[in-house]
Homo-oligomer: A and B are copies of this chain.
Amino acid sequence: MDLVNVMKALGDETRLRMLNLLNKKELCVCEIEELLDINQSNASRHLNKLSSAGLVEYRKSALYVYYKIKDEATAQFPFLVSFLHDETRKLTKCVLDEERLNQYIDSGITCDELKDGRLCFKDNKEEQ
């Protein structure tokens, strides 16, 4: 877990968006795919980068892999706390992502249902 690699991991919009959501809630890969509107391959790869940098950890449960922010990361790099709380909300996409996440949580549906398109997001992210 070295600083330069951590900063490289933070230097990508998709990974910032991932961390922003993971800062709110532990999520599985397919939830992240849907919420960020990215494909499975990219989701997995970017999560792997975050994991290699030591920023996130995961647990496997049945078919799913759940990612969350690693406590040791914020312990070792305290600036991450204010960074994740204050800076990501300045990014339009992060704000929209969070609205999607809240809508998903409030709906009470499962990640399988999310993937099946049961939720029509209120934003029109793909048209922006």
Instruction: Give residues in A with beta carbon < 8 Å to B.
Output: 3-4, 7-13, 16, 77-79, 82-83, 86-88, 90-91
Contact = CB atoms under 8 A, between A and B. Distances in A.
A7 B80 CA distance: 12
A73 to B, nearest CB: 12
Contact of A4 (B3, B9, B13, B79): B13
This protein's copies in its complex: 2
Contacts of A83: 79, 83
A87 B77 contact: yes
A33 to B, nearest CB: 21
Contacts of A12: 4, 7-8
A93 to B, nearest CB: 10
Given A78-B82, A79-B79, A87 B13 contact: no
A4 B17 CA distance: 11
Contact of A86 (B9, B10, B79, B86): B79
Nearest to A87: B3
B3 A90 contact: yes
Contacts of A91: 3-4
A40 B83 CA distance: 33
